[in-house]
Amino acid sequence: MEKLLTLAYDMGLTILYALVVLYVGLRVIKYVSKIIDKAFEKTQMDKTVRLFLESLIRMLLKVVLFITVAGMLGVQMTTFITVLGAMGLAVGLALQGSLSNFAGGVLILILKPFVVDDFIDGGGHAGVVSKITIFYTYLTEPDNKEIVIPNGILSNGSIINYSANNKRRVDLVFGVGYESSTREVKAIIHSVIESHELIDHNPEPFVRMSAHGDSAVEFTVRVWCKTSDYWAVHFDLMEQVKAAFDEANINIPYPHLDVNINNN
């Protein structure tokens, strides 16, 4: 009984020391992560690479801490490595998706189909890339919802990067009545385009009749602008062209249904 009590006392102290080391170690890792973050910011490292490396370093430090605590508890390193290898194989088979996400994160970091602050459409969601970690990419949707997408899905699927180029084309279609003058309609649209400060005239704006609809003649409008000004130009043209048509008494038709009643 005396030996058991002594053993329990020694084990209790060992476990207590291990827990203290674990707690202090996690605090130190958090502090070191902040220092690394500040150091990376001073080097003006690419934000995408910086966030990925920070996530990877934190994980490696936690693995080292876990091995250290296991050693304090009396786990032999050779036995620990053997068990860890067997567990690694089993976990690797069970977590193929996670390994795929890690590989996808590395591919995204190297190939850079998108970077932090880009607006992308991928994995069934669209939003601004807020950060890229070793397993997941975080998007912030326009309504401020955060979406977490596994890197494996993004690296193996199609991605639309709306921020890849500095300029984008705004495509709109306007319908007017058949009685309207084609020349007048085109002139009105051109005047609205000319007066808009955000529209880039290189390439030249495109305004042409594109279809004879059931109740309207359709005009396709294509203009270029900075990517950051896309939605401003889109909504401005929609509003300003409508106002210009109203001022010039250009009819904008809508579907009509003629009903004939036979009294007999």
The tens digit of pLDDT for each residue in 197-216 reads 999 999 999 999 999 988 89
Cα distances (Å, whole numbers) of residue 213 to 94, 173, 176, 219, 250 = 57, 12, 10, 11, 16
Cα distances (Å, whole numbers) of residue 228 to 43, 120, 172, 193 = 27, 13, 18, 18
Residue matched to tokens 């048509």: 245
The tens digit of pLDDT for each residue in 80-102 reads 566 666 666 555 544 456 678 88
Q: What pLDDT, on the 0 to 100 scale, is given for residue 65?
A: 80
Range 12-36 average pLDDT = 81
Q: Which tops the pLDDT comparison, 74 or 183?
A: 183
| Cβ-proximal residues to 84 (8 Å cutoff; 6+ apart), any chain | none
* Rounded Cα distance, 194 and 197, in Å: 8
Q: Which tops the pLDDT comparison, 264 or 117?
A: 117
* Ordered domains of the chain (ranges, CATH): 2-94 (1.10.287.1260), 105-161 (2.30.30.60), 167-247 (3.30.70.100)
Q: What pLDDT, on the 0 to 100 scale, is given for residue 93?
A: 46
Global pTM? 0.62
